[in-house]
A = this chain, B = another copy of it.
């Protein structure tokens, strides 16, 4: 019994919500971060407990950033086999991981307000939402702890990313990573079988990859991270981006003021963010 979960804003504030046909129904928490934290049980994500708490229909509800307070946002780089092979690299033995801050995230329709003097690039990604506390988990335990999947775009300042050996300063700009619009439970979508991850700029497709070619899948990544860091409900793991980013193009291409950046995954939905470059 698959669910599409979100944090929505209504005329009376934000609430966790679940989609019922084309109507949003309230769930008993102010947002998905709180809902997932309260549902943390015996190491497994229990979708049934959420479903049974579904409340009244909401009017005028609009999805916002689904997870306002993740304790950890972990990102994987260099994870699409087809992209790695096309660049002539060997497939990696270990996932390349870096972190973002909670403040780095923004909503599925928010403007991306970014300084004009940096090189802004796109990275469409499948993101995994953690649904139960995980520590030193194996793949099966990790898989059972996945609350669902959402869409993210790891928008990156390439010049800052490559100023030093560590990518953080290109990856952790406030409100630069749109996430959402919904979190889809694992019985609705199977990234191992494969879903397409697509990025478009002003309607032009610039990335299309399939999650079946991920070197490290969602369960691999959660298990690996849980070896060194406890994952908790509401934490987010971004799985990496396929080929087609702007910095690798000839000539290079970066986001321009007014560009409409769309990030879409079949079975989840579409982020649509307008780029606003400021002085």
Q: Which residues of A are interface residues toward B (Cβ below 8 A)? A: 71-72, 74, 77, 92-104, 135, 157, 160, 163-169, 172-174, 228-230
Inter-subunit contact A99/B101 (CB<8 Å):
yes
Inter-subunit contact A229/B173 (CB<8 Å):
yes
Which secondary structure dominates chain A's binding surface? loop
- State A92–B166 Cα separation when bound (angstroms): 13
Inter-subunit contact B99/A230 (CB<8 Å):
no
Question: Lowest 9 A-B CB distances belong to which pairs?
Answer: A96-B164, A99-B99, A94-B163, A173-B228, A98-B166, A97-B168, A96-B166, A97-B169, A98-B168
How many Å from the CB of A91 to the closest CB on chain B? 13
How many Å from the CB of A277 to the closest CB on chain B? 15
On chain B, the residues within 8 Å of A135 by CB distance are 174
Inter-subunit contact A103/B169 (CB<8 Å):
no
- State A98–B92 Cα separation when bound (angstroms): 21
Inter-subunit contact A165/B228 (CB<8 Å):
no
Inter-subunit contact A172/B228 (CB<8 Å):
yes
